[in-house]
Structures are given as structure tokens and as C-alpha cells.
Amino acid sequence: MLDIDKIRKDFPILKIKSNNKDLIFFDNGASSQKPKIVLDKIKEIYETKYANIHRGIYNLSQQSTKAYEESRKIIQKFLNAKSEKEIIFVRGATEAINLVAQSFGLNNFEKGDEVILSQMEHHSNIVPWQLLRDKLGIKINVIPINQDGDIDLNNFKKLLSKKVKLVSILHVSNALGTIVPIKELISISHKQKIPVLVDGCQSVPHMKVDVQNLDADFYCFSGHKIYGPTGIGILYSKKDFLEKMSPYQGGGEMISEVTFKKTTYQEPPHKYEAGTPNIVGSIALGTAIDYVKNINIEKICKHEQNLLNYATDKIKSLNEVKIIGTSKNKAGIISFIVKNTHPNDIGVILDNHGIAVRTGHHCCQPLMQFYNIPATIRASFGLYNTLDEIDSFIDALKNAINLLR
């Protein structure tokens, strides 16, 4: 079991008051809080090691470059990628998906080709493909889900054809918590030689992810959800794709030689990292991942499952509440609605108790349309959350329901 008291001391923000109450942070699905070791690393780099990377021959630049590339290796080992050259620093999962859409899709898809998404996708895994559809005339097909929020693999298989050029799908639903059987889905796709892009934003912080074991062609996540800084994320891609794809952006660093007639590009991953990158964010992300590794991702997963099970049982006891997304295979996310009450009203009252939850469509409007609801209240758990916090949350939720009757 985790030493939660010790872990909580690592997060300075958990000591603050919110509306004169102890902060209970249940919005980890949107973004997680940062441990002091990450905050200290950001400060250290800016104060003692900051310089632009890969360009300076002077000592400070060399130190900064070394720290930047060491972070890449930390992430490579964390995901079990074959090589650090398969790890690309991006601004977040949104940029990673756009990169694949533009560098892979734009150059490999033709009018009439198909991309498969799921009913549960975040807008960041819908809109880039719609932009590509508008440019090329491709078709987007959607894997349906059932009322529990599960994908039916038989329905998925029916969508596969020679026209399908990519499956782009989340690993864990940010709105429901559903864990997609991603390894099986990838295996089914690969039997028809269809590559798969996986949005791992809600999986990487909460469970062991091995990209070689999954056999994912592309896998991405955002650093701010795994206790790292904002504005930094990762795209993993198999080497074969990176070598064949065109650059996503042009500029400094990604070039080998430039003339006014022609430009040649560096080898991956630098081919896809144009301009001055988020140097400090990249280094601090490595620190955040080391922090998670030292705690042990399997222990984190077990702890969060205990929180999920405990909270689910408590919420089920409330007659006025309905859970949206009841898959038997879920990560630490609970979405729910209160009968005859708008989610925002519940969220405001919970906030008055110092409890931060997310209310709204969670950037999943097509999913909300499937359930015929405008929004849900979402509680999403992280490694620093406790059973006592859930008890306080349930008490506050009961209070909110009584006030709004």
C-alpha cells in the first residue's frame, strides 16, 4: 500500500484552503497537481542550467542539452519504447494527434479513405480528423458503445475494410473511466495491416503502459496529467513511421541543411521538434515520471482502484444519483448526474465545501449526445487522494442534493 500521508506532503498545494475549507482535489482527469520535486526542478533549471539546447558549444548549453535528452530516455524506458529516437516532445496530446494527422494522414490518405474513432473520443481526437476530412474527403467512422460505456469489438470488426487507413482511439475514457481493450483492438487492426494511434492521456498516469507489448504504432499523452508541467507532452511512434513521415512544422533545429532551393531534415526525433522547444517543461516531465516510477505505478493503480470502488459504492447508495458509465473495467473516474438538477449547481455547492470536481461535457459532446444529457459531474482521482476525502465528498454531495430539492 502507498504511504499516502507521506505522498501528500510532497504536494504543496494540498496544504491550502479553498473557500476556507481543506482543498479536496478531484479533477485529476483534467490536470494533476505537482509535487515539490517537479517544482524544484523547474526552479533549478531556470536558476542554474538554463540555455538553449543542441546549438551552443558552451558549458551551460551542453548541460541543458544533456538534461533534455536524459529526460527523453527516462520517458522511453517508462513506456518501454525500443529507442529514445521514438520519443517526440510535443506541447501535449492534442499536438501529438494533430502531428500524426498532418505528417502521416495528409500524406497517406486519399479521398474515400476511412479513419475509425470511438463514440467516447475527446474533441482533440475528433477535430483533427474532421479538418483532414475537409481537406482530403476522407470518411470518419465511429465505433458505437453500449449504455455501460463499453466498446463491442464485434461492432468494431464490422467497420474494418480495405478503405480504413488508421484507427485513432483513446485508451481510457476521460468522461466515463472506461478502459478500452486496447491490446486486442490493436491486434485485430494489425491483422488487416491497419495502424493504430492511441490517446493515453488517462492511462499513462494511472496504469502500466508498455508500447511494445501493446504493439501501438503511435501513443501519446500530456505531461500535466502525470504530475508534470503544462505545455509538454509525448508522442511515441514506431521508428518506421517516423522515418517515412514528413515534418509537421518547419524551422530551426529540425533541419540538416538549408538553401533557398532545398532543405534536408534531421533524423527523428529532432525532425519533428522545430524551433526552441519547451526545454524546462521537457526536463521537468522526466522528473515527474521518475517520481511516479519511484512510487510504483502498479501501487498507484491499485490505490486508485480502491478509491474508485469505495466512491462507487457510496454514490450508488444515493437514490437521486445516477452514474454515467458503468463498465466493469474502469479507471479512477466517476461521472454522474443528480435527478432534476443541473451539474453546475452541484459543482458550485461542492466548491463551497472546498471540493474541486469537473462539471460539463468534458470535451466529449458527442458522448453526451449519446446519453442524451447536457453534462455530468465528474470526480477523478489521483495518487494523493484518500478515502477520508471521499467521505467528505459524499457528505457534501448529500448536502447539495438536500439544498436543491
Length of the chain: 405
What average pLDDT does the segment 400-405 reach?
92
Tell me: pLDDT of 55 over 90.
no
The residue whose grid cell reads 493515453 is: 200
Task: Write out the DSSP string of 281-339.
Answer: HHHHHHHHHHHHHHH-HHHHHHHHHHHHHHHHHHHHT-TTEEEE---SSB-SEEEEEET
Distance CA 319, CA 304 (A): 25
Tell me: pLDDT of 33 over 90.
yes
Non-local CB neighbours of 373 within 8 Å, separated by 6+ positions: 324, 337
**Nearest-5° angle of CA 305, CA 308, CA 312?**
145
405 falls in which pLDDT band (50, 70, 90)?
confident
Over residues 149-190, the pLDDT tens digits come to 999 899 999 999 999 999 999 999 999 999 999 999 999 999
For residue 227, give the C-alpha cell.
Answer: 504530475
Over residues 283-331, the pLDDT tens digits come to 999 999 999 999 999 999 999 999 999 999 999 999 999 999 999 999 9
pLDDT of residue 134: 97
The residue whose grid cell reads 461535457 is: 361
Q: Which residues of 131-155 are buried (b: 16+ CB within 10 A; e: fewer)?
A: ebbeeeebeebbbebeeebbbeeee
What average pLDDT does the segment 251-273 reach?
92
Task: Tell me the average pLDDT of the chain.
Answer: 97
**What are the backbone angles phi and psi of residue 121, rounded to the nearest 5°?**
-60, 145
Q: What is the pTM of this model?
A: 0.97
Residue 364 appears among annotated catalytic residues: no
Distance CA 180, CA 126 (A): 17
pLDDT of residue 280: 98
Assign 198 to helix, strand or coil.
strand
What average pLDDT does the segment 365-382 reach?
97
Structural domains of the chain, ranges and CATH numbers in brackets: 4-30+296-403 (3.90.1150.10), 39-294 (3.40.640.10)
What average pLDDT does the segment 42-63 reach?
95
Task: Write out the DSSP string of 114-159.
Answer: EEEEETT--GGGTHHHHHHHHHH--EEEEE-B-TTS-B-HHHHHHH
Number of alpha carbons in the 13 Å side-chain half-sphere of residue 36 = 10
Over residues 318-368, the pLDDT tens digits come to 999 999 999 999 999 999 999 999 999 999 999 999 999 999 999 999 999
Over residues 182-210, the pLDDT tens digits come to 999 999 999 999 999 999 999 999 999 99
Catalytic residue among 201, 301, 363, 364: 363
Tell me: pLDDT of 400 over 90.
yes
Over residues 111-156, the pLDDT tens digits come to 999 999 999 999 999 999 999 999 999 999 999 999 999 998 999 9
What average pLDDT does the segment 376-383 reach?
98
Distance CA 232, CA 321 (A): 37
Over residues 4-22, the pLDDT tens digits come to 999 999 999 999 999 999 9
DSSP H or E stretch at residue 167: strand 164-170
Non-local CB neighbours of 234 within 8 Å, separated by 6+ positions: 75, 79, 87, 88, 89, 90, 96, 220, 221, 223, 285
Distance CA 333, CA 170 (A): 15
Tell me: pLDDT of 269 over 90.
yes
